[in-house]
């Protein structure tokens, strides 16, 4: 049976292979750089380079949290925004995945 880290690594690689326009790489780079983000903060940062909707950013963070398992989620109360933070044990894995050359098909 494969370990959790191997499964997460495989999911991350597939996730990045499907990145047509570079938004996924940008999101992961921002998570590495900022460590903690809210949907609003990430939306503002992404919109400096790409035109994306607020809900698309929220969906992307939700996917990275739930399917890839790379994020912690914290919500102090129902009135405060959700704060997503990178799980430090996956920072090297993300760096390695981002630095890999993806074959052009």
Domain ranges in the chain are 4-98
pLDDT of residue 100: 80
Dist. CA 36–CA 81, nearest whole Å: 12
pLDDT band at 104 (very low <50, low <70, confident <90, very high): very low
pTM (whole model) above 0.85: yes
pLDDT one-digit tens code per residue, 11-52: 999 999 998 999 999 999 999 999 999 999 999 999 999 999
- How much is the mean pLDDT over the chain? 91
Dist. CA 47–CA 36, nearest whole Å: 18
pLDDT one-digit tens code per residue, 66-80: 999 999 999 999 999
CATH architecture, domain 4-98: Orthogonal Bundle (1.10)
pLDDT band at 4 (very low <50, low <70, confident <90, very high): confident
pLDDT at position 105 over 50? no
Q: Return the exposure string of 53-70: e unless at least 16 CB atoms fall within 10 Å of the residue's CB, then b.
A: eeeebbebbeebbeebeb
């Amino acid at each position: 049976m494969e370990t959790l880290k191997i499964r997460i690594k495989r999911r991350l690689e597939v996730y990045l292979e499907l990145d047509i326009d570079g938004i996924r790489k940008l999101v992961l780079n921002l998570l590495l750089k900022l460590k903690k983000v809210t949907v609003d903060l990430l939306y503002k940062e992404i919109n400096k380079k790409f035109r994306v909707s607020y809900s698309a950013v929220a969906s992307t963070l939700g996917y990275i949290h739930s399917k890839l398992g790379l994020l912690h989620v914290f919500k102090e109360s129902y009135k405060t925004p959700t704060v997503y933070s990178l799980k430090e044990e996956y920072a090297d894995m993300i760096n390695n995945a981002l630095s890999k050359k993806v074959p052009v098909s």
